[in-house]
């Protein structure tokens, strides 16, 4: 009996010791990264297994690049920039190479970036020669006294800094040429911008929100906008507060969807404001603001990350390309609404 009692207390003692050891170990700060590759009518029925595999591979690669930077102690700014490069360089997404085409048949790109620590921000719209628009958005923030540059001026700014510039046909893919043709034919016959086919063939923006070990949030968004856009139309992606927002006091947000409605609902800032002023959790805040968008007649999605590393990936379309990796390296990659 004594022996059993002795053994029992010995085991208890060892367990207490190991729990104490664990408590003594410095806790890894809650860094993390979340990305989207656009929201829309993304249905398994319309996807081949090969294409789905490609999407999942690029999402995994992009999130791993940012996670590696954060794990090594890099900044959320660098993680957002380098992660978005992977998606801008992939022809799969509507950003950089593979961007959707304007009514005139060329690519015209928008991007923005915001730093949650300083509330510094940079954005560009309607550029035609900048290989990685997110890098120029960051350069506007760091190397100009402005927040937003547009068109030829923004292209010239990037060239003056020696950033990578390319001829416009670098961005153009067969897939986007076909999509432009289809949308133009449809628009000519139905003359409705609200036609579901036309609407859904337009999305595919990319975005990223990261939290680094120092507790700083950053968010970025990059897009080609909407297929068959005219009159130098600008969407929500380059507009700070609509498509992108980051504030260490609340959260970082990047949006995708029908830009006109996201501008009118000031989506990214509205989510951050609910979190900051009302103490609402990020998931509820994202759902609340997306409902506002839906009530106006728009649709799309958002990714949100807060300072504790909590993540939300919400959308009111049928799917959204999305991925998240936490400090422990747990990876989530999802495409469809019912995953």
User: At residue 299, what are phi and psi to the nearest 5 degrees?
Assistant: -150, 165
Instruction: Tell me if 220 contacts ligand ASP by CB under 6 A.
Output: no
CB-neighbour burial class of residue 7 (10 A; exposed 0-12, middle 13-18, buried 19+): exposed
Residue 194: CB partners within 8 Å, gap ≥ 6? Answer: 297
Residue 202: CB partners within 8 Å, gap ≥ 6? Answer: 40, 100, 183, 225, 226, 227, 228, 258
Closest-CA residue to 178 (of 105, 113, 245): 105
Near ligand ASP by CB under 6 A: residue from 76, 90, 94, 135: 94
Residue 69: CB partners within 8 Å, gap ≥ 6? Answer: 75, 78, 79, 82
Closest-CA residue to 165 (of 195, 133, 189): 133
Site string for ligand ASP, 99-138 (x = CB under 6 A): ----------------------------------------
Instruction: Tell me if 252 contacts ligand ASP by CB under 6 A.
Output: no
Instruction: Tell me if 257 contacts ligand ASP by CB under 6 A.
Output: yes
Distance CA 139, CA 162 (A): 11
Site size for ligand ASP, by CB under 6 A?
A: 14
Distance CA 74, CA 148 (A): 26
The CB-of-257 to ligand ASP minimum distance in angstroms stands at 5
Of 70 and 111, CB closest to ligand ASP: 111
Instruction: Tell me if 235 contacts ligand ASP by CB under 6 A.
Output: yes
Site string for ligand ASP, 22-51 (x = CB under 6 A): ----------------x-------------
Residue 266 CB neighbours (<10 A): 17
The CB-of-175 to ligand ASP minimum distance in angstroms stands at 15
The CB-of-270 to ligand ASP minimum distance in angstroms stands at 15
Residue owning tokens 């609200």: 194
CA-based Rg of the chain, rounded to a whole angstrom? 22
Binding to ligand ASP, residues 258-287 (CB under 6 A) = 259
Site string for ligand ASP, 187-206 (x = CB under 6 A): ----------------xxx-
The CB-of-226 to ligand ASP minimum distance in angstroms stands at 5
Pick the catalytic residue from 205, 221, 223, 227. 205
Instruction: Tell me if 237 contacts ligand ASP by CB under 6 A.
Output: yes
Residue owning tokens 């050891």: 21
Q: Clarify whether 41 is annotated catalytic.
A: no
Instruction: Tell me if 298 contacts ligand ASP by CB under 6 A.
Output: no
Residues annotated as part of the active site? 205
Query: Interface with ligand ASP by CB under 6 A: which residues?
Result: 38, 94, 203-205, 223, 225-226, 235-237, 256-257, 259
């Amino acid at each position: 009996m004594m022996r059993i009692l002795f053994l029992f207390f010995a085991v208890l003692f060892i367990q207490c010791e190991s729990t104490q050891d664990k408590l003594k170990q410095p806790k890894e700060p809650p860094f993390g990264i979340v990305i989207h590759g656009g929201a829309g009518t993304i249905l398994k029925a319309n996807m081949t297994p090969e294409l789905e595999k490609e999407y999942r591979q690029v999402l995994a690669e992009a999130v791993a690049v940012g996670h590696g930077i954060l794990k090594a102690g890099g900044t959320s700014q660098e993680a957002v920039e380098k992660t978005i490069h992977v998606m801008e360089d992939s022809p799969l997404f509507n950003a950089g190479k593979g961007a959707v085409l304007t009514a005139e048949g060329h690519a015209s790109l928008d991007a923005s970036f915001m730093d949650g620590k300083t509330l510094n921000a940079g954005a560009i719209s309607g550029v035609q020669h900048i290989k990685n628009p997110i890098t120029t958005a960051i350069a506007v923030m760091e190397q100009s006294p402005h927040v937003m540059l547009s068109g030829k001026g923004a292209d010239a700014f990037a060239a003056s800094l020696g950033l990578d510039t390319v001829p416009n046909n670098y961005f153009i893919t067969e897939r986007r040429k076909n999509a432009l043709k289809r949308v133009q034919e449809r628009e000519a016959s139905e003359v409705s911008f609200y036609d579901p086919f036309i609407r859904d063939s337009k999305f595919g923006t990319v975005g990223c929100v990261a939290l680094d070990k120092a507790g700083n949030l950053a968010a970025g968004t990059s897009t080609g906008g909407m297929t068959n856009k005219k009159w130098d139309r600008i969407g929500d992606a380059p507009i700070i507060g609509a498509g992108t927002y980051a504030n260490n006091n609340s959260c970082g947000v990047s949006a995708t969807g029908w830009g006109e409605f996201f501008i009118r609902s000031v989506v990214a800032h509205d989510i951050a404001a609910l979190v900051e002023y009302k103490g609402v959790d990020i998931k509820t805040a994202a759902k609340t603001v997306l409902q506002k968008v839906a009530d106006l007649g728009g649709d799309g999605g958002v990714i949100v990350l807060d300072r504790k590393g909590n993540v939300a990936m919400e959308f009111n379309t049928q799917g959204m390309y999305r991925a998240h990796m936490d400090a422990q390296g747990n990876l989530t990659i999802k495409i469809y609404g019912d995953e």
